Amino acid sequence: MNIPNPGWAYRDSWYRRRIDSRYSSCDLFHPAGHGQDPCTAAGLCPVSIEKVEPPPSLIPYPGKRLTLIDCLGTHFRSDMDREIAFGLSQNHKSIPSKYFYDARGSRLFDEICTLPEYYPTRTELEILHKYAAFIMSVFRGREGDLIEIGSGSDLKVRKLLEAVPRHGLRKIRYVPMDISHAGLVQSSLSILRDFEGLRICGIIGDFTCHLSRLPGGRKLITFFGGTFGNFPDPQGIELLENISRIMGPEDRLLIGIDMLKDIAIMEAAYNDSRGVTARFNLNILNHVNHGLQSDFRLHDFEHRAFFNPDGEQIEMELRARRDVRTELRRIHMHVHVAKGEAIHTEISRKFSREKAEGLFRSAGLSPAEWYTDPRGWFSLVCLKANHSS
Ligand code: SAH
Ligand code: AVI
């Protein structure tokens, strides 16, 4: 089933039924008509919420174990208009990788994570499995927030939560933040079901601009999957600086980074034999078509992913098989992609330890712990903010 993103999930009857029938302790905030600032109620910084529209049957919810807050609101559409128009009007065309993650894109990414060629997920899980109890000891049985930015599916946070004794779960609030509305709701509900006593405050937001909306108390911030590697140096450093600004002396940032390795292994991870990564890459055009009312035909493009040794990164693009012309009708913009021309969609950086440490340092962060797998393919780094030490 396709749940359009964002903001439509609750209007979908299948989805509504699923929430109604399985979860009663759920609180969805509606900006208008409640006379209450939802963020204040949830212990978060004030924010205007413009779009969550739960059907009347979802309110009220005793227990209030799940709160959902929408920071994207109507801005999502105008930001998407502006960013897509900018990217497609450049000499080297591009679409920002965050637009991979509509409901279908999020599902395709989950499928990528199960592929034999896509080593990052299982390697990161292996590391988490080994060190979860140690990582979660930062809470030392005290109250705090376990924040996950770019949370996606719940695979990884489960490993951390499973390492917490049952009574400890009551002291923790899980705060996932993701741009994908459907993905965030689905994973929040699944965690809510399986971890009794845990409270969840899901934030539908963009971590490049909504970090200040995160709660201010004691926290462990997690940024899994190597998503940090989807940013070039300047944006990556800026993102880390923004994270470090909201960290207190005892707070930690646990960040996943994919390490440099044999080129054939890295390239195979982005050119899987079942073609799931190709579908994931091409699906970004579906998202653009839906959002900006265009008519890109997916079969007019070919998925390409290769390692660029200069940037030490995998680059993904969509190469036009023929001359393509379409109009982004929502913003009255005509686009021409010439045969053979590429639309760049993603970089996925692969790090040496020295390179990563340099970036962390530039952002005012330093490693407190460095966890890796026996082959050194992936690293989970626990960082503290220098300003607060
Ligand atoms: N953390 C998960 C998912 C990684 S996929 C894992 O390790 O498997 C990247 C996730 O980040 C997706 O769920 C996507 O929706 C989200 N994402 C990408 N760009 C984002 C942005 N700018 N703000 C918030 N979430 C974003
Ligand atoms: C989310 N991110 C870390 C993934 C990656 O490996 O860069 C996205 C992805 N792109 C293709 N496959 C997976």
Which residue ranges have their beta carbon within 6 Å of ligand 2?
Answer: 112, 120, 225-227, 229-230, 270, 277, 280, 346, 348
Burial-class residue 81 by CB neighbours within 10 Å (0-12, 13-18, 19+).
middle
Element (H, E) at 126: helix 119-136
Q: State the first-to-last Cα distance of the chain, in angstroms, to the nearest integer.
A: 48
Give the pLDDT confidence score for residue 388 in this predicted structure. Answer: 66
Express the helix, strand and coil content of the chain in percent, nearest 5 each.
40, 25, 35
Cα–Cα distance, 356 to 377 (Å, whole number): 14
Ligand 1 pocket, mutate which of 97, 125, 179, 184 (most atoms under 8 A from CB): 179
Mutation test residue for ligand 2: of 123, 155, 230, 307, the one with most atoms within 8 Å of CB: 230
Residue with tokens 């970036």: 359
Question: In sequence order, which residues have a C-beta less than 8 Å from that of residue 293 and are 6 or more positions away?
Answer: 328, 329, 330
Distance CA 84, CA 95 (A): 6
Q: How far is the CA of 277 from the centre of ligand 2 (A)?
A: 9
What pLDDT is recorded for position 104? Answer: 96
pLDDT at 7: 30
Could you list the beta-strand ranges (E) of the chain: 26-28, 66-70, 144-149, 172-178, 199-204, 219-223, 252-258, 301-308, 313-320, 324-328, 333-337, 342-349, 365-372, 378-385
Q: What is the pLDDT of residue 64?
A: 72
Quote the ligand 2 centre to 225 CA distance (angstroms): 8
Low-confidence ranges of the chain (pLDDT < 70): 1-63, 388-389
pTM of the model: 0.87
If you take atom 2 of ligand 1, which residue's CA is the nearest one?
152
